[in-house]
Structure 1
Amino acid sequence: MILASGATCDAIQRPHIQLCGDSTILMTFSAIRTDAFVVVEVDGEAADACGDEVVIALDRGFVADIDADLRSGSWHLCPELRGILSDMRVRRPAGRLDRLYIQAKATELACRTAELLTAGALTPSSGSRDLSEFDARRVVRARDLIHQRFAEDLTLHGIARACGLNRSLLSRGFRLMFGKSVAQYLAHTRLDAARRLLVTSDLVISSVGHACGYSNNAAFTRAFGRRFGVPPSVTRRQVHLPPCPALSER
C-alpha cells in the first residue's frame, strides 16, 4: 500500500485509490498480503516500494487538514490498517452510498496511518524487506533498548538476548534498518547524549563520560573527538564563551 501526498493519477501506474479534493476513484486490487507494507510518499518525495501495492494518493491540503507530520518512508502494514483495506476491498462502488463508504474508509485509513506514525506504533521496514515483521519489531526493540539503557554496559549478546534475537540476525537487521552496526549505533547514541550534557549541565567532563557509558575518560575523549572533530573540553568552552561585545551592544 502506498500513501502519497502531492501525487497525481497520471504519475501512478499501479492500482490505487485517488483521494484529491472531492474525487475518489477505486480501481481493482488484489487481496492484501500478510507481508504487505505501508509506504508514505510526502510532497512528491519518492519512497521505496516493491510488489503489488495499493496506492492511496492524498493532496497536500488533506495532509495539512489532519495536521500530521508525515514523512517519506516504509512500514509494515499492521493488522488494523489491513482490516480497513479489507473493508474497502469487499465493498464494490455500485452506487453513491458505496462510493461514500469507500471514501470514508480511505479517509479513515489516512488518518489512522498518520496517528500510528505519530505514536511510533508502526514497525519501520525501510531496508528491512528481507526481515519478517516479527524480526523487524525485535530489531526496533533493540534500538529502543539502546536509547533507554545506553549508560549501562551493553553488549551485542546482551541486547540480542533481551530482544529475543540471535546475534547474527540482530547485526544483519540493524544494518538493514538503520545503516549502522549495533556498536556504531550505541557509540553514536552515547556521544550524542554526552554532547547534550556538556552543553546543558555543569558536570565535569569525566562525569559526563561516565554518565554516558564510558568508564575510561581517555576512551571517551578519543571517541568524542572522532565523532565531532573536537575534544569535549572545546565543546564545553564554546558553550561558556562570553558574548561578543559588538553583538551585545546592538
Structure 2
Amino acid sequence: MTNLSKSKLFKTGNVLIKAEESKSFVKQVAKISNQFIELKIVNAMVEDNIYLNIVDNNIKQSYIQKLRSKNKHLQIRIVLQGVVEKLNQVNNKKTTYNENEISVEYSQDINESLLNKEGSHIKYICITLNEEYLDENGYFRDIFKEPFFMKFYEPNIKNKFYELFNREYTSGLDKIYLKNKTTEVILYVLEQIDNKSFKVDGLDEEDIRRVKKAEVILQNTFNEKITIELLSKKVALNQSKLKKGFKEIFHKTIHNYLKDIRLEKAVKYLKENKYSIKEVSTMVGYTNQGSFSYAFSSKYNCSPKAITKKSNL
C-alpha cells in the first residue's frame, strides 16, 4: 500500500471545498477525485471540542493514510457501508469496523493509520469528543474512567443515519442540523452502553466477577497451555456461562482474546531484538512457529520478520 498523508491526499487531483466558520462552529465540505479516491467528506466542529466527520469514500487504489495523533478522547464510529480498518502505529494492532457496527472507544496517546483497500466503498460517521469536553462534563467521566472499547451490531442503523450522506451541506441551517444530529448519535450510543453495560442474561454479579477473574488469569498465563475446561475449573464457573459471559463483557471469544494477548506480547519481544522468531513464538505460548507466523500476519498485515527489520532501522 502507498503511504499518504492527509494533506498530500487532498492536494492530489480536483478538490471542491465549501467552508463556513464562526466562533463555535466550523464546517468543511470536500469532494475529491484522483487516482486514489472518489471522496465526499464533511468535517465539522459542531461545538467546542466535539468533532463530526461524515465520510463517503470510493477507493480506486490501495493506500495508507496516517491520522493526526490524539490525546485522551472518546470516539464513536458508525459504519453504514463497507469495512473500515485501522492500524495502531505503536503496537501494530489492526482494528476492523464492520458494516452495521457501532464502536465506542475511550483511549489516549493514539497514533494510527487508516488502511484503505482498492475496490472498497465505505461510508461511516465518526464523532470525537476531546479531553477538554470530557473533563467539563462529569457524566462522561463517570462512564469512561479507563480505556474502554465496545462494539455492537445494529442491523437497521442505515435507516437511522443514512440521510447524513444525502444532504448537500450548502444551507445556512447546517450548523443547527449537524449539531442536532451529532447530539442524537451521542445520546443513542450512551443509551446503548447503559443498556448493555455488564448486564448478561443468566449471570449474576458473582458469575460476572468470576468471568473477570478468568480475564486476569489469561493476562498472567498467556504463555501457558490453557483450555476453556481448565479456565472454567480455575474460576469455578461452568463452561457455558464462562464463554457466554466472556464474549458479552470483553466482546471477544476466549480464544480470540488469548490470541490477541499473545500477539501483542510478541510485538513487544520482537522489537527488543533479543530473540529469534522461533524463541518469541515459544515465549508467547505457540508450539509451532508456522502457526505463530500465520496468526501474526493475519492480525498485523506483516510478517514477524518485518517487525525485527523495522526495529533495526
More strand by share: 2
Normalised by the size of structure 1, how large is the TM-score? 0.48
Q: Which structure has the larger Rg? A: 1
Specify which structure has the higher proportion of helix: 1
What TM-score results when the alignment is normalised by the length of structure 2?
0.39
